[in-house]
């Protein structure tokens, strides 16, 4: 005699702290899964009731009564389907746990406490939670299901514990943030776990943007042979059905929906779109404005903003000065027209002259320097913030990771904004993303991609006057920031010396870049939040002291 169970992976986009709204999303998904997928069990991501990560909301006493009310509401409104849901719990002793509940017939029949609490990268779970130490296995229609939460599946012991007490299928609730290689990392890890414990795994991941983080979804179900039988889409909510059949002692997972997955630049671009859309809309904005310079960073930011929000929600402002090239003005206007966004051009010349006149008594006898360059950027930042204040549009900053790393940007100037889409996108990737976007439809003028990059803050300026070649710069940043390599280790990398320079010249350049990275931490602390797409982003991911006497030997 065989058992048949349909498990639906509920890949939804909760809003952190919106507990009542999240309950509505959960209940709606339950009813839809039952009606449209004939679901027996629906599995939601980690901490769905509060959204993830709730951060210091978990320290608010008032949070937990609301969570308890939410659980009661779900029990009351969902009785014809098993609901496996993630939430935080505070016990009678005041200790907090990251939980998963098995709700059946309108009651919590079993619950599980997360055992492994990540405390690295963007995760701070040991700040809030205590660790559980017991498996949770529930029998349903002849199949024994184990509950695990996110980090638990990355370690072998929780799955092994569950197997030892009779588990046959793992239900893994996850809030796993996006990075460029993350989906393949998950697949490789789950394949290892399946091989080790001999159980199929249903891996349910959150989707949506939350501050700097993007959750890419991509939930999947893997059978005993390590084959993905059901694949949910990336970057959008979905209810995907997984059909299980138990014959004697064997669990068979039937093939089902296989959503196509993105690759390389396409995957990163979708993450940037989702990050912008959710950050803007979840924070109560509907429109954005940005400075469009005729350069590649602002061009890519404009394309992302339009793809995320729609052409009618985006305004571009060109702010030319005496050093602005004609081609920059022409290309900015061309892109704005192509994308059909609102477009303004405001010369900063009269404002600069007024500032220069006011400051001339103080600067008498001093030669022009970077002060005058920064003044141009700060005038532009002031104009954008004025437009934002008057219209209610959020300003999008346009700096990329390479500039953010070495401080090649102006504090209170081109760094102003409510959100910075390219903050974790290296310059070399900016070019690849621009070319990718133009493959979909040509919206960025080709000349913007092929011309030498320039801040246009002084005559005949190009970025490489102040910085190494961007390929070399990005290689140094990756080695130092992401991989924590020493200067000597960095100098030995072939990608840091593609032009076969002497060791002393390479060493000098590496030391110069490292010094720029370290001394510009104060700028990064004051920068707008931006989307994390790499394994180690600035901000919550890489935390470095501003005041530090440390030097690499």
pLDDT (tens digit per residue) in 33-58? 999 999 999 999 999 999 999 999 99
Q: Supply angle C-alpha 20, 24, 26, rounded to 5.
A: 110
- Do the strands 96-104 and 82-90 form a parallel or antiparallel pair, or are they unpaired? antiparallel
What average pLDDT does range 77-91 have in this prediction? Answer: 96
Q: What is the largest CA-CA distance in the chain?
A: 95
Q: Which band of pLDDT confidence, cut at 50, 70 and 90, is reported for residue 549?
A: confident
Q: Are residues 282 and 239 in the same domain?
A: no
Total-model pTM: 0.94
- Please check whether residues 159 and 251 belong to one and the same domain: yes
Beta bridge partners of 104: 107
Flag whether pLDDT at 120 surpasses 90: no
Same domain, 438 and 337: yes
**Structural domain boundaries enclosing 297:** 266-396+426-460
Domain edge (last residue) among 259, 276, 292: 259
Q: Do 330 and 386 fall within a single domain?
A: yes
Residue 128 and residue 186 in one domain: yes
Provide the pLDDT for residue 541. Answer: 83
Encode pLDDT of 355-382 as tens digits: 999 999 999 999 989 899 999 999 999 9
User: Do 281 and 337 fall into the same domain?
Assistant: yes
Q: Are residues 204 and 110 in the same domain?
A: yes
Question: Which residues on neighbouring strands pair with residue 88, listed in sequence order?
Answer: 98
Residue 80 pLDDT: 92
Query: For the segment 256-311, what is each residue's pLDDT rounded down to a tens digit?
Result: 999 999 999 999 999 999 999 999 999 999 999 999 999 999 999 999 999 999 99
Mean pLDDT of 146-173: 96
Q: Is residue 507 part of a domain?
A: no
Residue 212 clears pLDDT 70, i.e. is over it: yes
Q: Judge if 252 and 184 occupy the same domain.
A: yes
132-149: pLDDT as tens digits = 999 999 999 999 999 999
Going by the DSSP 8-state scheme, the letter that residue 131 receives in this structure is: P
Residue 465 has pLDDT above 90, yes or no: no
How far is 47 from 173, CA to CA, in rounded Å?
9
CA 404 – CA 541 distance, rounded (Å): 14
Residue 144 belongs to what H/E stretch? Answer: strand 143-149
Q: Does the residue 518 lie in any domain?
A: no
CATH number at 318 reads: 3.40.50.620
Is 472 inside a domain boundary? no
Q: What is the pLDDT of residue 548?
A: 86
The set of catalytic residues is 46, 114, 150
Are 121 and 253 members of one domain?
A: yes
Domain count for the chain: 2
Note whether 248 and 323 are same-domain residues: no
Specify whether 106 is located in the same domain as 178: yes
Q: For residues 246 and 244, what is the distance between their CA atoms, to the nearest angstrom?
A: 7
The chain-wide mean pLDDT, for the chain, equals 94
Straight-line distance from the first to the last Cα atom of the chain, in angstroms, rounded to the nearest whole number:
70
> Residue 8 above 90 pLDDT?
yes
């Amino acid at each position: 005699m065989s058992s048949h169970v349909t498990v639906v992976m509920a890949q939804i986009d909760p809003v952190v702290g919106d507990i009542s709204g999240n309950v509505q999303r959960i209940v709606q998904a339950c009813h839809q899964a039952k009606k449209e997928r004939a679901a027996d069990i629906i599995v939601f991501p980690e901490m769905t009731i509060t959204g993830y990560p709730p951060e210091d909301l978990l320290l608010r006493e008032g949070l937990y009564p609301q969570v308890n009310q939410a659980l009661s509401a779900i029990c009351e409104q969902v009785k014809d389907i098993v609901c496996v849901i993630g939430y935080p719990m505070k016990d009678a002793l005041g200790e907090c746990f990251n939980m998963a509940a098995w709700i059946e017939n309108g009651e919590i029949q079993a619950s599980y406490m997360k055992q492994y609490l990540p405390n690295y990268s963007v995760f701070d779970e040991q700040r809030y939670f205590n660790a559980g130490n017991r498996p949770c296995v529930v029998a349903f229609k002849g199949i024994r299901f184990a509950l695990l939460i996110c980090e638990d599946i990355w370690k072998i012991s929780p799955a092994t514990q569950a197997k030892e007490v009779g588990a046959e299928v793992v239900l893994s609730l996850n809030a796993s943030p996006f990075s460029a290689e993350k989906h393949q990392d998950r697949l490789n890890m789950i394949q290892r776990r399946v091989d080790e414990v001999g159980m199929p795994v249903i891996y349910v991941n959150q989707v949506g943007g939350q501050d700097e983080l993007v959750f890419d979804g991509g939930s999947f179900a893997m059978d005993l042979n390590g084959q993905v039988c059901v694949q949910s889409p990336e970057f959008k909510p979905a209810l995907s059905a997984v059909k299980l059949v138990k014959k004697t002692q064997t669990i068979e997972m039937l093939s089902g929906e296989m959503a196509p997955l993105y690759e390389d630049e396409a995957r990163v671009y979708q993450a940037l779109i989702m990050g912008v859309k959710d950050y803007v809309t979840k924070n109560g904005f509907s429109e954005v404005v940005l400075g469009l310079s005729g350069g590649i960073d602002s061009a890519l930011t404009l394309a992302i903003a339009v793809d995320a929000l729609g052409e009618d929600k985006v305004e571009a402002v060109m702010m030319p000065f005496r050093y602005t090239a004609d081609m920059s003005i022409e290309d900015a206007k061309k892109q704005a027209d192509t994308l059909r966004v609102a477009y303004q051009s405001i010369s900063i010349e009269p404002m600069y002259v007024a500032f220069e006149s006011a400051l001339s008594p103080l600067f008498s006898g001093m030669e022009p320097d970077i002060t005058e360059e920064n003044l141009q950027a700060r005038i532009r930042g002031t104009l954008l913030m004025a437009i934002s204040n008057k219209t209610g549009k959020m300003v999008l900053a346009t700096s990329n990771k390479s500039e953010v790393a070495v401080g090649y940007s102006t504090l209170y100037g081109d760094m102003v904004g409510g959100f910075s889409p390219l903050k974790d996108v290296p310059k070399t990737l900016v070019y690849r993303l621009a070319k990718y976007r133009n493959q979909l439809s040509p919206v960025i003028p080709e000349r913007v991609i092929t011309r030498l990059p320039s801040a246009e803050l002084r005559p005949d300026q190009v970025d490489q006057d102040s910085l190494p070649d961007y390929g070399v710069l990005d290689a140094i940043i990756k080695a130092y920031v992401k991989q924590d390599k020493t200067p000597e280790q960095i100098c030995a990398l072939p990608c840091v010396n593609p032009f076969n320079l002497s060791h002393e010249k390479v060493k000098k350049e590496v030391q110069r870049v490292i010094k720029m990275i370290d001394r510009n931490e104060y700028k990064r602390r004051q920068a707008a939040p931006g989307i994390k797409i790499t394994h180690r982003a600035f901000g919550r991911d890489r935390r470095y002291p501003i005041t530090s006497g440390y030097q690499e030997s």
